[in-house]
Each structure stands twice: as structure tokens, then as C-alpha cells.
Structure 1
Amino acid sequence: MYIHFSDASRTVIGGGTAGLAIASRLSAVAKVAVIEAGGFYEQDNGNLSTVPGYAQNIPFLDTTPSYPLNSLMDWDYLSVPQTQAGNRVIHYAQGKTLGGSSAINTLAYHRATVGAYGKWADLVGDTSYTWANVLPYFKKSATLTAPNFAKRNTPNATFTYDTTAFDNSLKGPLQVSWAQWQDPTITWLAQGIRSLGLAMSSIGFNSGILAGFSAYVTTSVDPRNATRSSSRTSYMDTVGVPAGLKVYHHTTARKILFNGSTASGVSVVTDSTTYTLMAKKEVILSAGVFGSPHLLLVSGIGPAATLKSLGITVVSNLAGVGQNLWDQLYFQVINIVSTPSGPAEAAANPALVEKQYREQAWGPLSSISAYISFEKIPASLRGAFSSATATALSWFPADWPEVEYVAGAVASGGATLGVMSSCLTAPLSRGSVTISSSDPSVLPVIDLGWFTNPADGEVAVAGLKRAREAWSNISSIVVGDEIAPGAAVQSDADILAYIKNSATQIWHAGATCAMGKKGDGKAVVDSSARVFGVSSLRVVDASAFPFQVPGHPQGTVYMLAEKIADAIIKGK
């Protein structure tokens, strides 16, 4: 049975990070329909998605093919074997819920660099993407709560920050704050990071400067009750659901429909009922880094040869759809430490920790108290890079960091494990997303492309050496021998083998529907996020980035949603 709805001006596919943000803004001026395959994460994932301290314990964030299933919350994406990374098949969780991956991420919020947004502007031929021009949209999206140093109660973890990076008078929906409880182990690991010459930033990581500095990262946590601030709690609950916004949850988009080359609606299914949601003006695709290219392909937009081989009518021959996948990888140096930690305290005294959280919005459950830093690999290690690697890295702006270091602590068998992670923030390997069937219910074919460019291996080896150097400068807290990689792993070849067999994603894939200039073979959308070769169709999510920005992309996703919403409202 087909039922047609035609009262929506715009139909948004995906109620995730970008989808709810842009739908909320547009619904203030027009009728908007949102199609979301999932439901409410409070029901489907409980405290794991609402209590910050549980964010790292969500079971289905397991990256192995044997991950615990939660198909109410996750799309169950699996990669093809990664031939240059131990031939491993990788489970890549993506949020299937109102709020999308903003309901399952580890809450880090910061912005990329001035140079990164300048590069974005150059690649897409639009100066509105320079730092000065995107900053107002960052400010419009979020409200900052000042650090509560009394609650943090950690004299060696105080800091200053740029108070002009946010504008709370705009009442941005997303709540951004610093941890109100500080993990003692992380304060020690922070000393190790700073010993590398990465001084604590005096302005924080929301003012366009990352490389060469370290900081306690801001997070998308509402400090009033110490709960996750997702796109649903912010753009739906805080802004409210205007009369013009209609959300179709537990409803899956199957195909974008066209009248000629004009997007006219979306074929969807709820339970066993298939019907069409029409869009009088526009369809906005916000299905994520894997979901957005998948839907374009099954709808007839993508490489013509691929579409024709599957019997799909070509609506727009765009070779870039599903290509250009950037993914940041991270790998760890782990030691047992003698310092107390939040995870260990939560395991040893669960009743006390829950009481602290419930009554004071404080304690280990109230936050993820991460300390992060960014750098270009220093000259002492850079000299070992091949000329090909040095040339490839020269593409990145001078202020674009190549590696991020993340300090963390976990509990294991009654002990505290200190974890110093290195993450590639300027990856040179590229993956892809394609399809094997015209049936929209068949999941896409995902090749993450890990380490297919040897340059990533060279940078990764240097990054792990830097993490070990940080550990060597805080050796007084280390108990026993190094847990991972282990003392036997010393040569560059052994370090690289360890990394290739253990590295995982930090959940920052992007750029599979890349923004660019018309005629660019990789470009899928223009600088207003409009899909080339058709009309009335845009892609607004991390897949539309021209590249993955350095560091954590959550803030940039919200910025893009705000920016494109503003352009649509202004008739652009």
C-alpha cells in the first residue's frame, strides 16, 4: 500500500547530528519532515547514551565482527577485510537513533584550525568557509558553560580559555562544558604529554589553533544535570519541536525519488508499509558517511558503470559518490599505573559513585575527563620520513596537526590502566563506499583503505614513539612492564606491525560525498551542499566535508548544518 504525504516543504533523510540540527532550523520557517530509522536512545540504549561516564562502555562500539548486536541503535556496518591492516574486518558503529552518532560518541567537542577551513574554502571555491566566516555558525550552534574549578577540585588541572570563542547570548542549543570531575590518572598523563613540548593552551581548542598545544577538551555535556547533549536533546528538546516539524521515527528511507532530474520525495518503509514522503521544495540527505553515499547510489546518483551493472537508472553520473573516504586511526601505548582513576573507583564503589552522580551531578559518571594534544611530527623523527611521505604531507596547511594524543584511563582486574593513544589526524590513505545490489536493504560495501598509503605507516610509527616518550617522562607512576605494545616491540618494522594489527578507528570517517567545484572528479556537492547534476537535493553531514577535519568533527558537523540552513532560509 502506498500513501502519499505532500505537505512538507523539505524532507530530511536522517535524524542524526546534522539532520536534526538543520531540520530544527528550517522548521521555524517551513514544514519539514524528518525520516529516522531508529527511535529514542533513552529507551534503546538507556544510561549508556545519557550518562557521560558510560560513553566508553557502549558494548556495540566494539570494532570486531563479533561485536554485541544492538540493531535498535546501530546500522551494523562491516568493512571488507583491510588488506594492509592485518586483513581485519572492522565493525564501524553508526548511530541509528534520534540524535544519530551524537548519541553514541565520546562527547569531545572542539573546532579545527584556521588553515583547515581556509583549505576548505579554497577547494570548494567559496570564501564563506574561511575561519572568520564559519565562526558565527559555530557560535550559533552552542552554549558554553564556564569550568567549575570548585567541583573539579584539582589544583593541577586548572586552565584558561578564550571567552570570545562562544556567544551565549545566541542561546546555541548544544551544551558544551568541561568535566566537573577530574580523573587523577589523566592529570599525570597530561604531564607526560606536556613533557613533549606541547604546552597547555591558554585559549583552548575552540579558537582555530591546535598544533603544538594540549588542553582539557570541552565536551557536549549539559553540566546542569551531567547528561549527554545530543542533537536531539539540544535541537529538539531545547529549541523545541515547532509545529512545522514532523518526525517519522522507526522509518527507513529506501530511495530518493525524482521527477526527471528534480528530487521530489523519498520512498520509505515503516514496519511493513511502504509509502512516499513528498518534498515540495527539496530533499536533504543527512544519513551519514556510509548511509548518504549508499542512498545516492541506489537512487541513481554515482559512477554510471556501477549503476548500470546493477540495473539502476542513471540520474546523475557522479564518479565521486562513495569515494574519497578519510578515516582517522588510533593506536595505544598502555601501562599499569599506581594512580587512582574514575573507572577503578566506579568498579570498586559503584553505589557511592552512583550517589555522587544522582545527587550532585558529579563524580566519575558525570564526565569523560580527557586531555588531548596535537602536533606536527617534530624534526627529530621527521628526518626518517621518505621523500614521498614528506611530499604528501606538504598538502596540509602549516597549522594542520598530523597526530593527536589522547590521555585516558580504564579499569582492568582491579588495576588502573593508563592509556596514551596516538591518532592520525592527517591520514593519506583513502577508502570507498559502494553497493553490490540495487536493493536498498542490502548494506553498502565499505573499504576503509587503512594503510593503503605507506605514508600513514611512517607517521604512525613516529606517533607511537612520541607516546612512549611521554610515558618515559612520567615513569614514576608506571607499575611493571609495558602492557602494549610490550617491551619486545622496538624496531620500526615491529612497531608498524603492531600498529597495523591493532589500530582502530576513532569514529571520524568522512568526505564520501565530498564538497567541491563543478567539474572536479571527486566532487559530489557544491559549496551550498547541492548535489551536482540534479536539483532540489542536498547532502548535509560529515560525508559532505571535502576532507575530514583534523581532530574531532562533531562541532564542524553542527556548524555545517547551521550554515546550510541559513543559506536555505536566505534563498541560496
Structure 2
Amino acid sequence: MTQQQQYHYIIVGAGSAGCVLANRLSEDPNNSVLLLETGGSDKSIFIQMPTALSIPMNTKKYAWQFETEAETGLDNRKMHCPRGKVLGGSSSINGMVYVRGHAMDFDEWANHGAAGWDYQHCLPYFKKAETWAFDGDDYRGKQGELAVNNGNEMKNPLYRAFIEAGKDAGYLETQDYNGAQQEGFGPMHMTIKNGVRWSTSNSYLRPAMKRANLTVITHALVNKVLIEDKQAKGVEYQRKGKTVSVFATKEVVLSAGSVGSPHILQLSGIGDKNVLENAGVEVKHHLPGVGQNLQDHLEFYFQFKCKQPISLNGKLDPLSKLGIGTRWILNKSGLGATNHFESCGFIRSKANLAFPDLQYHFLPAAMRYDGKEAFAGHGFQVHIGHNKPKSRGAVTLVSADPKVAPKIQFNYLTEQEDIEGFRACVRLTREIINQPAMDEYRGEEIQPGLAVQTDEEIDTFVREFVESAYHPSCSCKMGTDDMAVVNPETKVIGIDGLRVVDSSIFPTIPNGNLNAPTIMVAEKAADFILGKTPLAAANVDVRLGTDWQIKQREQMPKRVVN
């Protein structure tokens, strides 16, 4: 049985971008908007309570549990690649870390053909999206939907000790890495409001769902975009055993993420003709860049025992967890109201780089990403990764059946520059943690362990233990070259009435977590879709670390335990 309905706009995917678009496009009561989401409700306590972040990410009900192909650069391991499948999408399963990226990331986008996406043109949309909890300036917003703060404001002394260790090692301090100066060590920001995960579902979608002109349909698996004569007419989806066709009089917008959006394009007959034909899909439009240029961040945990009983390892027993959960349920406060990543750092892996390419998340516990303790006793860890990889992969359609997952291949660590970046991660982190500020806390190095010293030993360790930071992106890149999928106004090249708006359109991956820039992209794209004049470009300075500061740090005596 086939049903048919008509809307002005159809948005596919209620994630970090889709919820923003649903809100902005439905602000005009004359616009009828349909939002389709494969997942369901996000009201679970495990989604809303920040400290429970590891649970929804590893739950099939709330996340696509994708797996990569064997990665040759990682000893042929198949890597976990979860993507949000719930209202709020990945903003409902992520770590709630708010990082815009470095200003030069967006200048890099413009240099790759995404005109109008340089930092000065993106900053107004970052500001539009957020309400910053502290004193504002020319870099921060105060009236946006997205609440941004610093969790419990670093009450554990280990957070401050990590920042001081960075300073001891000769690095800069930054009070606001999302402001004038990303580089350095400082407090980390998160999307939490009144102790609750502030996903795009909570911040953008729920207020908009009160509008009569917005329809939200969950548990809807999109089969394809309906294409006629190079024009997107609507979407076909399946729900409760029925196939439904819905039509858009203005535009269809794919916001299904860096796996979902290229997959749906390919299912719709848009992509490389050889890929489509091999999967048994009729070619509607040959667009070879669809699914290509896939990028991600990798990271590993640098773990140490803690000499003082102040780490979160003392709170991982069932009774402590019950107390944390009870306090959160009663008044949304305490250890349940933070993601625990409350201090961080952004540094350069080598002196001749224009801006940072390494990122630290500091955690006052030594534990695994599934929430289980790494060892008996107290400890702490830093998540460290090389954030500007050269390796590129692809999302590739393998079947015309939308229920069959695409092939995902990142080609992690297949470029020598990426391998060298992780060598720097090991050596520079040891130097930082072995500074005087950590002396009263730092115990034995657990991982990688002091036996890991040479390039070969580091490479072996990284191949075995590195994990995805869950930042897939760039698989429908924005630009004007032969491999671009969307133009700088987010329109799919060669198809009328169709856009892609999510992290898949990034030309290159930013130096940081992806939720903030994805929301910014959706805010900016909404103005394009509605035909509004874009917000005026900012005119602000961006502070970069100077060569003198880098050379000074390199000349400091090293304090590393061998």
C-alpha cells in the first residue's frame, strides 16, 4: 500500500543538523516542513543524563552500530563507527564536547572552493546558535538555542593540574579555545543545560514541535530521494511495513550524516556510475565525489595511576553509581551532570605548522569508553589524537536494499604524515604529564607503558590501541572541483531541489569535535534555503602562537621519565 503527502520542505534525518533546519524552516508559519527520522524518542535517562554518555553510543536502539572494513593501517582491525539513530541524532549519543575548530580550518574550507565559508563568515552563525554561560565578547553568542558551559567547573584538582602541566611544558594557556585563541590549555566546554544533555533535539526540535506546520515522523527508513529529470520531487520511505511517498514543492534536504547522506544519494541513483551499477541501482546522475573524501579523527588513551584517591575510579562501583544517578534524578546536579571532560589542550605536533593539529581531552579517571574501569585503583587519562589527517576513505553503496549498510573504509594511518603525528602524540604527552604540576598526582604510566619508546614501538602500539573519536565527515564535500558533491550554497551539483546539510559537506575535517561546526553549517544553510541575506561577516582578530613561543618551548629542558 502506498500513501502520498505533500510539504514545502522535507528534511531527512533529525540529527545535529536536521533539528536545526526543522526549527529554522518552520519559523515561518507559511512553510510546511516534514522531518523524517529512522530512530525514535530520545527521552531515555541514559541519553539525558550526561555522565551516561557511553550507554546510548553502544546501544542499537539509539545508534547505528556500523563497522568499517578491515583497516590495513590498523593491523586489519574493523573499527566501530556508531552514528545517532534517535531524535537529536549523534548529538544525543555524543560526548557533548563543544569545539568549533580553529579559525584557519574554515579559511581552509574557503581555499578548497567553499566560498563564503571562511572563519569571518562562519563566526556569526556560531554565535547565533549558542548561549554562552559566561561573560560574552565578540566571539561568543548569548541568545542562541544551544547552551554551552563548563559542566561542574573543574572541581576536581586534576583538571587544573593538567592545565598547569601544559604551561610548565612551555605551552600557552587559553581561557576560551572557542574564542580568539584556540591554541593552548584551558577549560573544556560542553553542551549541557541545567544538568541535562543539551542535544539539538532538546534545544532546537522540541520548541519547534509545538508548531502546527512541522510534522515529525520517527521510525521512518528512507529508501531514496525521488528524482525526475534531474529534479528532486520527494522522498520514498518505509514505516511499519508500508511504503510511503512524500513530495516537496520546494526542496528536499538530506541531513542523515556522513554515512547516511552519501548512502541515500547513492540509493537514489546519484553518485559514481560504476558504484551504482555494481549495486544494481539505476543511474540518475553521475556525481563521482559522492561518498569520497571520508575523514575521521583517531585517538588513544594515555593512562596513569593516580597517587591520591581523588579520581573517578573511586566512583565506579554499583553503590556509587546509584548515588550519582539518584542525585541527578532528584535535582540534575553532581557527577551525573557533566561529561567529565572539563579541561583540554590544543597544540602543534611540530613547529612549522600554521595552527594546532593535536587535541587533548582530560579525564580524571582511567577507564574504557564503555564506562568500565581500566584497572583496580585510582588513575587518570588524556585522550590524545592527531586532528588533521591526510588519509582519505569512502562510503560505498553495495546493495540497492536500504537496509544493507554501505561499505565504510577510512584508510586510517595510510599516510606517513598521520603516522608521524601519532608519534608526536606519545612523546609530547609524556613530556606534559611529567611536568612538576603533576608530580603529586602522577603514578605509574599504564598505557602505552614506558617500554614503548622507539618509532617502531610507538607505531605498533598505535595500530593496536588507537580508536575512532567518532568524527566521520567530509563524504559529500562542498566545493567547485570535479569531486565536489554540493556547491557553496549546499545544493547537490546537477540536481535541482536537493541539498545536503550536515558534516558530510565539510571539505576538510576541523581541528576539534564536530557537533559545533555541524550546527553552524545548518544555521548558515537555513538562510540559503530560505533565501535570506547571510549574516554579515565578522571582523575579529585570531591569535596564533608565535614561532618564538614554539622555539622557546622546544628549548626548555625536557622532563620525561625513561
Amino acid in the other structure paired with 2:4: H
* TM-score of the aligned structures, taking structure 2 as reference length: 0.88
Q: Which residue does the alignment assign to 1:440?
A: 402
Pairwise mapping of residues 118-197 of structure 1 onto structure 2 (< 5 A)? 118-126=107-115, 128-146=116-134, 163-168=137-142, 171-180=143-152, 182-197=155-170
Q: Which residue does the alignment assign to 1:532?
A: 493
Residues 508-517 or 133-142, more deviating:
133-142
Pairwise mapping of residues 494-509 of structure 1 onto structure 2 (< 5 A)? 494-509=457-472
Q: Deviations over 1:16-70 (max 9, x none)?
A: 110110111001221110110001122xxx2221111222x32644xxxxxxxx3
Against the structure 1 CA distance between its residues 244 and 59, is the aligned structure 2 distance closer, same or farther, given a 3 Å change threshold?
closer
Pairwise mapping of residues 274-423 of structure 1 onto structure 2 (< 5 A)? 274-339=243-308, 340-345=310-315, 347=317, 349-370=320-341, 371-379=343-351, 398-399=354-355, 401-410=356-365, 412=373, 414-423=376-385
The gaps in structure 2 that reach 5 residues or longer are: 368-372, 534-562
Aligned mate of 1:268, from 211, 232, 237: 237
Q: Deviations over 1:199-233 (max 9, x none)?
A: 3213x02225323x1121111000x3x00001110
Against the structure 1 CA distance between its residues 227 and 559, is the aligned structure 2 distance closer, same or farther, given a 3 Å change threshold?
same
Q: Which residue does the alignment assign to 1:450?
A: 412
Question: Would the aligned equivalents of 1:176 and 1:218 in 2 still touch at CA under 8 Å?
Answer: yes
Against the structure 1 CA distance between its residues 439 and 240, is the aligned structure 2 distance closer, same or farther, given a 3 Å change threshold?
closer
1:49 maps to 2:47: yes
Q: Which residue does the alignment assign to 2:223?
A: 254
Deviation at 1:175? 1.2
Q: Which residue does the alignment assign to 1:385?
A: none
Amino acid in the other structure paired with 2:296: D
Residues 412-421 or 230-239, more deviating:
412-421
Amino acid in the other structure paired with 2:399: S
Question: Would the aligned equivalents of 2:477 and 2:484 in 1 still touch at CA under 8 Å?
Answer: yes
Deviation at 1:462? 0.9
Q: Which residue does the alignment assign to 1:476?
A: 440
Q: Which residue does the alignment assign to 2:5?
A: 5
Amino acid in the other structure paired with 1:221: I
1:543 maps to 2:504: yes
Q: Which residue does the alignment assign to 1:388?
A: none
Against the structure 1 CA distance between its residues 528 and 254, is the aligned structure 2 distance closer, same or farther, given a 3 Å change threshold?
same
Q: Which residue does the alignment assign to 1:58?
A: 55
Q: Deviations over 1:135-183 (max 9, x none)?
A: 221111111222xxxxxxxxxxxxxx75332232xx3111111112533
Q: Which residue does the alignment assign to 1:65?
A: none
C-alpha distance in structure 1 between counterparts of 2:216 and 2:210, whole Å: 9
Q: Deviations over 1:381-404 (max 9, x none)?
A: x8xxxxxxxxxxx7xxx23x2111
- Secondary structure of 2:496's match? coil
Q: Which residue does the alignment assign to 1:491?
A: 454
Q: Which residue does the alignment assign to 1:67?
A: none
1:431 maps to 2:428: no
Question: Would the aligned equivalents of 1:421 and 1:467 in 2 still touch at CA under 8 Å?
Answer: no
Amino acid in the other structure paired with 1:91: H
Question: Would the aligned equivalents of 1:24 and 1:241 in 2 still touch at CA under 8 Å?
Answer: no
C-alpha distance in structure 2 between counterparts of 1:252 and 1:351, whole Å: 37
Aligned mate of 1:465, from 400, 423, 427: 427
Against the structure 1 CA distance between its residues 295 and 350, is the aligned structure 2 distance closer, same or farther, given a 3 Å change threshold?
closer
Question: Would the aligned equivalents of 2:56 and 2:62 in 1 still touch at CA under 8 Å?
Answer: no
C-alpha distance in structure 1 between counterparts of 2:117 and 2:498, whole Å: 21
Question: Would the aligned equivalents of 1:513 and 1:543 in 2 still touch at CA under 8 Å?
Answer: yes
- Secondary structure of 2:63's match? coil
- Secondary structure of 1:279's match? strand
- Secondary structure of 1:457's match? helix
C-alpha distance in structure 1 between counterparts of 2:209 and 2:278, whole Å: 45
Deviation at 1:416? 2.3
Q: Deviations over 1:85-118 (max 9, x none)?
A: 0211112111100100000110111212222211
Question: Would the aligned equivalents of 1:131 and 1:208 in 2 still touch at CA under 8 Å?
Answer: no
Q: Which residue does the alignment assign to 1:216?
A: 187
Deviation at 1:236? 1.8
What's the RMSD between the two structures over aligned residues? 1.9
C-alpha distance in structure 1 between counterparts of 2:74 and 2:99, whole Å: 29
C-alpha distance in structure 2 between counterparts of 1:343 and 1:49, whole Å: 22
Question: Would the aligned equivalents of 1:344 and 1:414 in 2 still touch at CA under 8 Å?
Answer: no
Question: Would the aligned equivalents of 2:209 and 2:215 in 1 still touch at CA under 8 Å?
Answer: no
1:76 maps to 2:65: yes
The gaps in structure 1 that reach 5 residues or longer are: 62-69, 147-160, 383-393
Question: Would the aligned equivalents of 2:49 and 2:328 in 1 still touch at CA under 8 Å?
Answer: no
Aligned mate of 1:199, from 150, 172, 175: 172
Q: Which residue does the alignment assign to 1:96?
A: 85
Q: Deviations over 1:347-382 (max 9, x none)?
A: 363454345434553321111242111111244xx8
- Secondary structure of 2:125's match? helix
Question: Would the aligned equivalents of 1:112 and 1:209 in 2 still touch at CA under 8 Å?
Answer: no
Q: Which residue does the alignment assign to 1:389?
A: none
Deviation at 1:193? 2.9
Question: Would the aligned equivalents of 2:56 and 2:93 in 1 still touch at CA under 8 Å?
Answer: no
Amino acid in the other structure paired with 1:88: R
* TM-score of the aligned structures, taking structure 1 as reference length: 0.87
Question: Would the aligned equivalents of 1:139 and 1:167 in 2 still touch at CA under 8 Å?
Answer: yes
- Secondary structure of 1:218's match? coil
Residues 465-474 or 533-542, more deviating:
465-474
